[in-house]
Every structure is written in structure tokens, then in C-alpha cells.
Amino acid sequence: MAQSVNITELSLLQLEILENQLDQEVDSMYVPGKLHDVEDVLTDVGTGYYAEDTAEDARDFFKRKIDFLTKQMEKIQPALQETHAMKQAVMEMMSQKIQQLTALGAAQATAKA
């Protein structure tokens, strides 16, 4: 179950850690890849098993896989948007805290002078 955090109560360091965690959460959703042999391919059919296919058969398999993943993306899209919104809020709070620290430092420097 997700835990609620009031970001206004977090320190600048905690906000930075939270921002990094949110970045990692989003980054793990993307996987790059390259195909070198376009005639015969190995298709990952799941649980560590691969099937040697022609490019056409693999294309059909991946069309079905794309349909499945598209449906899954539609399900997680709200969570991704929420994570993005949380990251934006964290970044704004970090900016505000930095401004407050800068203003406090300037006020202390003026008071000492």
C-alpha cells in the first residue's frame, strides 16, 4: 500500500532522495534494444524460454505482445502520471526550500555585518 508523505515537512536532502527514487521508478519502465539479424530471430516467449522464429512469425508474436502491453500501459498510465506529478511537487518544494535557505543565509550575513 502506498504511503502518504507531506513533502513540505521533508528536508532538502530527503526531497533530493525522493526525487531520485521517482526518477528510478520512471526509468525502470523503459528498456532499449537493437536487432542485428533481420532474417532469423530469437523470440523471448517468457520465463527464460526463447524460440527461434522467422522475422514474420516474430512480427506476429510481437503484434500480439504490443496489444497486451498497450492494455497494460493504459492501466499504469494513471500511476505514471501521479508519479510525475509527485516529482514536480518535490522539485517545486526543493526550489522553495533552496530559496528559503538562500534568503535566510543572506539575512544572517546582513545581520552580522
Q: Alpha carbon 111 to chain centroid distance?
A: 44
Decide: 8 and 100 in contact? Cβ < 8 Å: no
Rounded Cα–Cα distance for residues 52 and 36 (Å):
15
pLDDT in tens, 79-113: 999 999 999 999 999 999 999 999 988 888 888 76
Rounded Cα–Cα distance for residues 43 and 69 (Å):
16
The reported pLDDT for the residue numbered 1 is 53
The reported pLDDT for the residue numbered 110 is 83
Burial of 15 (0-12, 13-18, 19+ CB in 10 A): buried
pTM: 0.46
